[in-house]
Amino acid sequence: MPTMKFYLGIWAGLVAATVMEVVTRSIPGAFAAISVIILLISSGKAVTIAMYFQHLRYENKSLALLPIAAVIGIIFLAIAAWMSM
């Protein structure tokens, strides 16, 4: 397991990404483009938390199949919702 100093670095990165999201919101530009950038940053934060705080990075790779299977289910739901619009 990594050291506390390493985790502190991950936390600082996540806080910086949060500030970046708020700053991105105030940049003038197309709403869709700004929204996509913000959601990409959020997704990066979520993956970082799963990889390091939930230490998936250091587990057997098969474990990732469980959350990935659920996320694939949600992607199918999103596609179904999009197709019905």
Partner 1 sequence: MTEQYEETEERKSTYAPFIIGAGLALLFFGLVVFVPLAIGGGAVVAAGLFMLFRDSVEEKFADLKETVGEKWPVDFLSKRKLGVWVFLMSEILIFGSLIVGYIFVRFSSGSWPVATQVHNVTLGMTNTIILLTSSLAIVFALVSIRSGNTRGLKIGLLGTFALGAAFLIIKLGFEWPAYYRNGFTISSGLPGSTYFVLTGLHAAHVAGGLVAVGYLIARTYQGGFTKDNHAAIENIGLYWHFVDIVWMFLFPLFYLI
Kindly report the three-state secondary structure assignment for every residue of the chain: CCCHHHHHHHHHHHHHHHHHHHHHHCCCCCHHHHHHHHHHHHHHHHHHHHHHHCCHHHCCHHHHHHHHHHHHHHHHHHHHHHHCC
Among 1, 28, 29, 30, binds partner 1 (CB under 8 A): 1
Task: Say whether residue 16 binds partner 1 (CB under 8 A).
Answer: no
Among 27, 29, 30, 62, binds partner 1 (CB under 8 A): 62
81/79 Cα distance (integer angstroms): 5
Task: Say whether residue 9 binds partner 1 (CB under 8 A).
Answer: no
Task: Say whether residue 51 binds partner 1 (CB under 8 A).
Answer: no
Site residues, partner 1 (CB under 8 A): 1, 3-4, 7-8, 11, 14-15, 18-19, 21-22, 24-25, 31, 34-35, 38-39, 41-42, 45-46, 49-50, 53-54, 60, 62-63, 65-67, 69-71, 73-74, 77-78, 81-82, 85
